[in-house]
Structure 1
Amino acid sequence: MRVRRWTWSTLLSASALMMPLGAGAVEFTCWNPGGAGLVAGAAEYWTPEKIANAIPFGETIPPGESGFPGQLRNLKDSEAERAPIDEAPYKFGGKLLFTLGGIGYQASAQFVADDRIVMGAAHSAWGNGNQATNIRFYQGYAGGGGILYQIDRVAVLLRWTEVAGNPPSLARSQFDYSVMRTTAASAVGKYELGIAGAGVGEDVTITGYPSRLDGGAYMYRETARIAAQAGTAYDARPHPMYGGGASGGAWFVTADNVHKAVSVVSSGAPDGVYGPSFTQDTADLVTIVKNGCP
């Protein structure tokens, strides 16, 4: 495992293009997750058959263990609807494919903050002491297809590796995001990064590829209200897209036609969903990964 600690001065010396950063440090682990199929001319690892057999990845909190106050209402699949994948900001997202411990999985992710940065859930990148490999991002995936983006760097916070083995919780969700670099720039745009971008009582739109709906073949969206914030994590309710596949999907708010990603799906249940609240550490990690984790 490669673990690095970056201070403000280190970051400033890494690239003349960086924005000013705050004092302090961010600790992270970073690796090349490309795996098979990245060498020019090599066959792509993720064949249609492997994609179809990839296991929807997610963390569902068992009933009674989430702290959510029982069923808030009679949830129906219709309370989540297919997202218009050709429109902003939904077109910034797509399906994330990866192997972890030799097993193929699928989850959700999206371009955020930079044309070569994709963000998803940390539990879709690092778990049980394993680093994910063969990571691919299919932007605009809809029943197949989409634009394939190769990933050559991925990083998670060191704090995530310390709590990844704990049961899903609001406290653990604070660190449940990953930052990935694509080998080509986004052709469709990106979310802006929203640091502490939503407040208690505010509605957010949540996106992802829930396996319960259409077998995870299409992006869905739901509306949830932030019920609480503890530390740097959100608790939003309800969550009709519960179950595997939606992990890593963006929570976003829109103002003046600017779409800001304020969190990603971490863990949840039908009654609610947890996600990290992005901080300056998140912005710093984006910069680090953009520059190749030197």
Structure 2
Amino acid sequence: MKLDQLRAFIAVVETGSFRSAADAIHKTQPGISAAVKTLEAQYGILLFDRDSYRPTLTAEGHAFFQQSKKLISQAQQLENLGHDLAKGTEAPLHLCLSQMAVDDNSMMRIKAFQKQYPDTSLDITTDHLYGVQEALTKNQCEIAIGPRYGLDDRHAFIELNKITMVTVVSPELLDTLSINGNKVKQQSLYGIPQILVTNTTANSTENGHRYILPTGKRWYVNDFQTKKTMLMHGLGWARMPKHIIQSELENGQLVPIDVENFTSQNQLPIFMIRLRHQTQSYQANLFWEMMKNLSPIEK
């Protein structure tokens, strides 16, 4: 068994075909097929059911795939460590934060860690929705901080805090809405764009957004700062993390609304997340344990 054979096998599973796998890892299709057949011959098992239109994992293939992903992840980490050691440098701790989780709580935690371990470098990226967990599976970070999107048995996670989500519009838009008691009628929002931050994952779909009206316009932006600016200019309505718009709520540039039959406001738990099978670096373990001591509930 060779790592290249495992990479070929994993590529077929993740892309859905031998041809797409060949394109994804820059190999020939016959080379991909030969790598998979060699693995099957070596262990005397069938990894794929080839009777269907697309290659489908057998029960043995599914189990083999799970362990293959673990091994490739560990091999990649070992390779990265080797390069860092050769340079005489310590690898930074890679964190991915949900854009919704860039608040005072997260910053105070990171500051506390940096104060206790001042020689540890941090490489921090931000993403949104399922993109945060995708950064973990693609080995782009060791630890993620964000809401519970896409978490399953592969993940270990600890709740760090909760953020408040609130639905808002500009005062000028509020004057155009139909009100029933204290609630805004859904129908009055159908002609106004609901502004959403784009789901950045490779298989991005609208399903990444849990709080959308079934009918109405939807506009997409890349980040919450753009979303806030558009809201302030009366270009739409949206749910926003309260900590991002606190000053705008206080000075009246944005106004909270309660929409009929819609989750206009709620508390959203924020978690620290890692992959259970992933071998953690020394720095990642330090960060995890420190955050764990600050937040005692681990799941």
TM-score, structure 2 as length reference: 0.24
Structure with a larger share of its residues in helix: 2
Query: Larger C-alpha radius of gyration, 1 or 2?
Result: 2
Structure with a larger share of its residues in strand: 1
TM-score, structure 1 as length reference: 0.24
